[in-house]
Amino acid sequence: MSTKSQEVEALVGQKYRHGFVTDIESDSLPPGLDEDVVAAISKKKHEPQFLLNWRLKAFRHWQGMKEPKWAHVHYKPIDYQDISYYSAPKAPANAPKSLDEVDPKLLATYEKLGIPLHERARLAGVAVDAVFDSVSVATTFKEKLGKAGVIFCSFSDAVRDHPQLIERYLGTVVPPTDNFFAALNSAVFSDGSFVYVPPGVRCPMELSTYFRINAAKTGQFERTLIIAAEGASVSYLEGCTAPMRDENQLHAAVVELVALDDAQIKYSTVQNWYPGDENGLGGIYNFVTKRGECRGRNSKISWTQVETGSAITWKYPSCVLKGENSIGEFYSVAVANNYQQADTGTKMIHIGRNTKSTIVSKGISAGHAENTYRGLVKILPGAAGARNFTQCDSLLMGPKCAAHTFPYMEVKNPTATVEHEASTSKIGEDQLFYCLQRGISAEDAVNMIVSGFCKVVFKELPMEFAVEAQNLLSVSLEGAVG
Amino acid sequence: MNAALRSFEAQWRARPADALQPIREQAMQRFLKLGLPTSSDETWRYTDLRSLAAQSFQAAAGEIRGTLDPNAALSLVDGTQRAATMIMINGAAPADADNTRIHGFTISSIKSLSKLDHGALLRFFPPVSDADQRRWVLLNTALFDDGLYLKITERVTVPLVILHVSSGAGAQEAAHPRIIIDAAPGSSATIIEHHVTHGEFAPLSNSNTHIALGQDAQLEHYRVYATSAGATHLDALEIHQARGSQCKQFTIALGGGLVRSSLDVYLNQSGASLESHALLVGHGDRHVDCVNIVTHAAPDTRSRQTARAIAGDTSRVIFNSKVIVKAGAVHSDSQQSCRGLLLSPSAEIDTRPQLEIHADEVKCAHGATVGRLDPDMLFYLLSRGLDRETAQSLLVYAFLADVLTGMSVTSARSAIESALIGQLPDSQTLRNFK
C-alpha cells in the first residue's frame, strides 16, 4: 500500500512527548554491586535484620546465575557494575507531610506529564502513591483507606510498620532465586508499593502509583506486594512515563500478588517509558517479573496491560492457580514501533481443580520493531476440569517489522480443555478503503481500526486508564500505515 | 563428552575416507563441538536423551539376520495396487541399486553418484547448521555409509515404497539411513517411506531424507513409523521447493518407543505450496516428538499444516510447529491446525504452534486445542442408543479421519487406518462397527 508514505513516516517519527529531565539533587550510591552495596541499601532504609539476610541470600544466588538468552530480543551486554543501585531525591531533613511540602520542582514534573496530583487524585477519587525514582514522595487518601483497614503505603514504610506481613509474604510468589532479574531485584530493590486488604473488605477506591525514572544511570528496582485476604477485593493501577535519555536504563521490577479465598485482585498497567529514538538509540530495558498466586479457592487475579514504551520489554505477568475454582486472566496490548523489541505474554499454571484462565493478547508492530507473544499454559495432573482459552492476534504495519507468536501448551490432565487461536495480518485494505470512501482521513481510519483491534483489552481497563491508553496508542502509532 | 558421543567419534575415526570427506569432516567436527541436544535446546525441550547419551553405539551392519517376509514391503499397499519397492536395511542401499529400473525414476547409490557427478550431489548437502533440530543430521552426514539417490524424471502414477528395515545383531547399534529425492521440473510421484523393525534388536535409527522439488513438480510423500516398542528413531526430513511445486506430506507415528520426527520445509520460490499432515499416536509408554518448521522464503507461497495427536496410557506426544515468514515473502498464506486428544490421566500432550513473521502482507493463522472427547458429541451418540465404548471409539476415529481422508493412496490409507484402530482403546468394538 503506498498511501502517503511520507506523511506516515512523519507521524511514526513523532518525538517522545514526555522527554525531559528534572534537576533535583540525588542522593545516590556510586555505580557498582557487591555485598557492601546490598548492605548499604538495607542500612539506608533502616531495614530489620531478616530483610538484610534475605537480600544477601538473593545476591549470593544471583552471582551464580547467568543472564537468560532465550527471549527473542537483542541488546548489548549490560554491565551490572556500571549501574548505581540506589538513588533517592534528596529531601529536606524532615520529610513532607502533605503535598504543600513536596518539592515544587517535583510537582512541576508531574504537571508536565499531565498528572495534576492533588487535583486529579481528588477528582478521580484515586489515591496516588507517586514513586519518583525509588522513594515514595507523596501519599494521598491514606486516611480514607485507613478507615477501611486497607494498608497502602510505600514498601519501606511497610517494612517499618508491618514487618510481620512483609516477612510472611515477601518472596512467596516470586522466590528470590526465581530468575536472574528477580534475584537481582531481591538483592537491591529500593522501594515500591505495598497493599494489604483485610478480610471481607472491598477497597473503597482504585489504587494507583505513577512510576518515573529520573537521575541518569540509575537502574530502578521496584518491588510491589499486594495481598488480598479472604473475601477482599482490590484494583491496582500502575502507570509509567520516563524522561528522554540516551543511555540505556535497566528496570527490573518484581510484582507479587497473593489472593486468598474468594479474594480478587485486578492489576492494570499502562507502560510508556522512553522507547529510544527513531534509530533505536537509548530507551529503557524493562525486564520485569510479575506473578500472582490464587492461593485460595474461588480467588481471581486479572492482569491488564498496555505496553507502548521501553526499548526492550521482557515481561510475563503470570497466574499460579492453586485454589479450587480460581480464575486467572491476562489482557494485553503491546505496541512496538521504530526499533522497539517486545517479548511479552503470560504463564497460566493450573494446579487446582476447575481452574479457569483467559488470555487475550494483541500485538502491534510498526517500523523495524519486533513484537513477540510468548505464553505458557500448563495443566498439572491434579487440575481436573481446568479450562483455558487463549487468543493472540498480531497486527503488522510496514514491511520491516516483525511479529512472532510462541505459545507453549503442556497438558497433563485429560479432563482439561485448552484452546489456542492466533492470527497475524496487516490492516485490511478493504477496511481502510471503506473508511476512506466515507470521508474519513487515512490517519483517523487507521486509528479507528487499531482501536477496534484493541477494544477487547481496553474495556478491561479502569475508566481513567482507558482514556490514557487510547491517547498513548495514538501517540505511538498514529498513521503508521505500511 | 558422554559415552554416545565418544562412540560416534570412534566410529568416525575408524571409517575410511571417501569422496564426500570434506563435507563429512565439517559435519562431524560441528557435531562433536555442539554435542547431543539436551532439554535446554529449544526444540528438544520435551525430549530427554540422557539415557541415550549414556550408551555407546556401534555401527549396525547393512544386512539382516534371518529372512525378511517377501511381502513386507508391500504391507502398506497390500499387493492389490501396483507399486514399486526398494528395501534399505539399516540404511544400506540395496546392492543392486545402480541397476534397478523403475519406470519414471533414475536410481543410484549415493556412493556411485559421488563418483559420477560429484558437483550435482553437493547441492543436496546444505551447509552445516547449528540449529538444534538439525543436530542429528550432522551425525548422519558424517557417518552414513551409503544411501539412495532417486531422481523422478517424469509423471509417475505407481507409488514407490521404500521399506526401511532396522535390524540389529545386538543391543546398542546405530544406523544412519540417507535418501535423496530429486524431482525434475514437471515430474510427479508418490513415495512411501515405511519404517519397520525386524528381529529382536532394533538399532538406533538416525535417518535423513532430503527432497528437492523442481519447478512445478508434484510429490506426495509418506513417512510411516511402525517400528517395535523398544526402538528409538530420530528422523529428519528436509524439503526444498522451487517455483510452483506442490508437496503433500504425511507423517504417521504408529510405532516405536521414542520417535523424534522433524520436518524442515523451505518454500524457496513463489507459487510453492505445502500440505503437511501429521498423525501422532501415543500408545503404551511411547514418546513421540514431532517438530515442523516451514519457512516461507518467497512471495505467494502457501502452507497448510494439520496435526492430530492422541495420547493414551502413559504416553507423551509433543507437536511443535513453526512457520517463519521471511522479510519480503509477501502474500504468504499459512495455516496451522493442531488438535490433541488425551485419553488417559497419565498421558501428556505438549504443543507449541509458533509463528515468526517478518513481512506485513501475509495471512497467517494457527489454532491449537488439547482436551478430551467432547461430552456433547458423546451424549448425542449415547442418546441415539450407542453404548459408551462404541461411541467413544467412533469419536476417536472421527478425530483422526481428518488426516486420513487426505491420502490418495487408498490401500495405504486403509492399511494405516487398520493399524491405527488396533492401537485405540476398544479397537474390537470399532472394527465390528465398521
Q: What does the pLDDT look like over A288-331, one tens digit per residue?
A: 899 999 999 999 999 999 888 788 888 999 999 999 999 999 99
Instruction: Considering only residues A132 and A52, tell me which one the structure prediction assigns the higher pLDDT.
Output: A52
All residues of chain B having their beta carbon less than 8 Å from the beta carbon of residue A414 are: 342-345, 347, 372
Cross-chain Cβ contact B354/A396 below 8 Å: no
Mean pLDDT of A361-385: 92
Neighbours of B428 (CB within 10 A): 12
Whether the pLDDT of residue B346 is over 80: the answer is: yes
Nearest CB among B342, B353, B368 relative to A414 is that of B342
CA distance B110 to B147: 5
Mean pLDDT of B104-113: 88
Mean pLDDT of chain A: 79
Residue B30, C-beta contacts closer than 8 angstroms, at least 6 positions apart: B128, B130, B138
All residues of chain A having their beta carbon less than 8 Å from the beta carbon of residue B360 are: 396-399, 401, 426, 482
Cross-chain Cβ contact B360/A412 below 8 Å: no
Nearest CB among B42, B330, B345 relative to A413 is that of B345
The segment with the largest mean pLDDT, out of A262-276, A408-422, B112-126, B161-175, is A408-422
CA distance A131 to A139: 9
Q: How far is CA B15 from CA A220, B9, B121, in A?
A: 59, 10, 21
pLDDT for position A267 = 93
Which of B258-272, B279-293, B416-430 has the lowest average pLDDT?
B416-430
Binning pLDDT at 50, 70 and 90, where does residue A120 land?
very low
Whether the pLDDT of residue A96 is over 90: the answer is: no
Cross-chain Cβ contact B360/A426 below 8 Å: yes
Nearest CB among A399, A407, A409 relative to B360 is that of A399
For residue A104, the cross-strand partners are none
Cell numbers standing for residue A243: 524522561
All residues of chain A having their beta carbon less than 8 Å from the beta carbon of residue B327 are: 399-400, 402
pLDDT for position B192 = 92
The segment with the largest mean pLDDT, out of A107-121, A125-139, B407-421, is B407-421
Nearest CB among A407, A414, A418 relative to B345 is that of A414
Instruction: Considering only residues A449 and A29, tell me which one the structure prediction assigns the higher pLDDT.
Output: A449
Whether the pLDDT of residue A10 is over 70: the answer is: no
Nearest Cα residue in chain A from B364: A424
ipTM, 2 decimals?
0.82
**What percentage of chain B exceeds 70 in pLDDT?**
96
Instruction: Identify the helix (H) or strand (E) that includes residue B30.
Output: helix B21-34
For residue A372, the cross-strand partners are A343, A404
Residue B193, C-beta contacts closer than 8 angstroms, at least 6 positions apart: B162, B164, B179, B209, B221, B222, B223, B224
CA B211 to chain centroid: 12
Binning pLDDT at 50, 70 and 90, where does residue A94 land?
very low
Q: Are B56 and B396 in contact (CB under 8 A)?
A: no
pLDDT for position A397 = 85
Cross-chain Cβ contact A422/B353 below 8 Å: yes
Q: Work out whether strand B363-371 and strand A417-426 pair parallel, antiparallel, or are unpaired.
A: antiparallel
CA distance A239 to A155: 17
All residues of chain B having their beta carbon less than 8 Å from the beta carbon of residue A391 are: none
Mean pLDDT of A35-51: 87
* Helix, strand or coil, per DSSP, at residue A109: helix
Which amino acid, B367?
G
CA distance B124 to B140: 13
Binning pLDDT at 50, 70 and 90, where does residue B237 land?
very high
Which residue ranges make up each domain of chain B? 3-66+74-269, 374-434
| Distance from the A309 Cα atom to the nearest Cα atom in chain B, whole angstroms | 21
pLDDT for position B332 = 92
All residues of chain A having their beta carbon less than 8 Å from the beta carbon of residue B324 are: none
pLDDT for position B408 = 87
| Distance from the A475 Cα atom to the nearest Cα atom in chain B, whole angstroms | 21
Q: Can you list the positions of beta strands (E) in A105-232?
A: 127-132, 135-139, 151-154, 191-197, 207-212, 222-228
CA distance A242 to A338: 18
| Distance from the B246 Cα atom to the nearest Cα atom in chain A, whole angstroms | 24
Cross-chain Cβ contact B361/A399 below 8 Å: yes
Whether the pLDDT of residue B208 is over 70: the answer is: yes
Nearest Cα residue in chain B from A370: B358
Q: Are B403 and B374 in contact (CB under 8 A)?
A: no
The segment with the largest mean pLDDT, out of A81-85, A178-182, B89-93, B425-429, is A178-182
Whether the pLDDT of residue B39 is over 60: the answer is: yes
Dihedral sign, Cα of residue A453, residue A459, residue A465, residue A466: positive
Residue entry with cell 525414476: B105
All residues of chain A having their beta carbon less than 8 Å from the beta carbon of residue B365 are: 421-424
Mean pLDDT of B58-69: 78
Residue A236, C-beta contacts closer than 8 angstroms, at least 6 positions apart: A195, A206, A207, A208, A209, A226, A265, A266, A267, A268
Q: Are B392 and A442 in contact (CB under 8 A)?
A: no
All residues of chain B having their beta carbon less than 8 Å from the beta carbon of residue A361 are: none
**What percentage of chain A exceeds 90 in pLDDT?**
33
To probe the interface with A, which of B355, B364, B378 has the most A CB atoms within 10 Å?
B355
| Per-residue model confidence as pLDDT tens digits over A200-232 | 999 888 787 554 444 444 457 888 999 999 999
Nearest CB among A396, A397, A417 relative to B357 is that of A396
Binning pLDDT at 50, 70 and 90, where does residue B344 land?
confident
Nearest CB among A401, A409, A411 relative to B360 is that of A401
Q: Are A403 and A363 in contact (CB under 8 A)?
A: yes
| Distance from the A482 Cα atom to the nearest Cα atom in chain B, whole angstroms | 8
Nearest CB among B361, B363, B368 relative to A420 is that of B368
All residues of chain A having their beta carbon less than 8 Å from the beta carbon of residue B354 are: 404-407
pLDDT for position B258 = 93
Whether the pLDDT of residue B366 is over 60: the answer is: yes
Which of A72-81, A466-475, B5-14, B309-318 has the lowest average pLDDT?
A466-475
Mean pLDDT of chain B: 88
pLDDT for position A125 = 38
How many Cα atoms within 13 Å fall on the side-chain side of residue B67?
A: 3
Q: Are B153 and B104 in contact (CB under 8 A)?
A: yes
- Residues of chain B that touch chain A, judged by Cβ-Cβ distance less than 8 Å: 42, 327-328, 330, 340, 342-372
pLDDT for position A478 = 52
Instruction: Considering only residues B280 and B421, tell me which one the structure prediction assigns the higher pLDDT.
Output: B280
Cell numbers standing for residue B127: 551447509
Whether the pLDDT of residue A24 is over 70: the answer is: no
Cα-flanking dihedrals φ and ψ of residue B148, to 5°?
-115, 135
Nearest CB among A418, A422, A425 relative to B370 is that of A418
DSSP line for A144-175: HHHHHT-EEEEHHHHHHH-HHHHHHHTTSSS-
Which of A34-48, A66-80, B100-114 has the lowest average pLDDT?
A66-80
Which of A436-440, B69-73, B153-157, B178-182 has the lowest average pLDDT?
B69-73
Cross-chain Cβ contact A415/B340 below 8 Å: no
Residue B337, C-beta contacts closer than 8 angstroms, at least 6 positions apart: B305, B306, B307, B366, B367, B368
